Chain A
């Protein structure tokens, strides 16, 4: 429908008569208020769960809550839910590229720690090289 109107306006070319200005979604005030309350509540949850120690799950829990909050901001405040497919692809693809950066950075990090745990790091220069933090005197 938008396509047809678009074509009409283009053929018309003068802007008089029926001027197509697109069909913009105007969100209700009630919806924005609901999203705000949800975001403030989730901020409270963020602080509340930080008072407990879940060990290595701490980071995962904190990031999961932040991701839910971010999704609410993106979908509703930023209107991405009602945006065109191309705009959705452009913006959301940045998170795809971000995940590539994280995956390769963390791959390096975790394999490094694996070496540290064996207390030995192999290097082409030294036959065996101990990471300074694993030396008895702490690398001083």
Chain B
């Protein structure tokens, strides 16, 4: 495997590109694992966005929902393990009762915050951007506030979910071993994410719920004239999508690490929105975009930790690490600006629906 990059190095003109390819191949197994892991919260945030916007509701408060869920999951885990004891972890995924309680609480709270956004956006008919911004500000403030109060008492967290360990025989398979290893070396939330992606993709395009959702997001009045209750549909979808964002937040504080810091979500909610846009409002596309973004991050991290040698190394030394981190955002802007005149978002996205009065 390592002789190929050496051979390619010799080619003068495309040497740099092949060096890059070789670097990636050499570090593939580590990079791919990090990539899939980093993509998990982004994907979940993007899926939340897809569900909302497909129904016709813009939700930029995903960041706030994730942060709130991350905090609540951790906090309830702390409280539960203080009250019930940490307990012995089960063999798979290191599941303990406090962790489960924390997860459940995170999901419930995420749905509650989403309900607030739904109410503001659908019934009160506030501008949906403002509503989402309020949630973000509020989440940062309230979680920061509560965390400072709790942290002062040096709490012990409930721990975190453990990763699934792929058997060595599988991981060492030629060609696909690294892929399987990368995809499967995740905790329960990570693995669920991949399942949810496929599930949502199928549901959105083949089920009755998906058809009605898409209709409500494109042409709510047409949906009403065939008897669909657009308001109720939007409420339901937004609240359920809150569970997805909450899952992403829980991953942060209960799977990736076992603790909480202020502003832990660090913009993943917004990257998730970007992934949704680049993925053209489909679950699979969003997942692909999330992987794309995560790989940019992964590449950047890898380059910093294990810099390449030779010409590639010289080139990369001039590229600041921040470039890789900024890359997902730049890609999103380019995609958005490139879609000139054509709207690819659901047609009724962001516009509150006025039900025609029956009188």
Partners in one complex: no
Residues of A participating in the B interface, judged by any CB pair closer than 8 Å: none
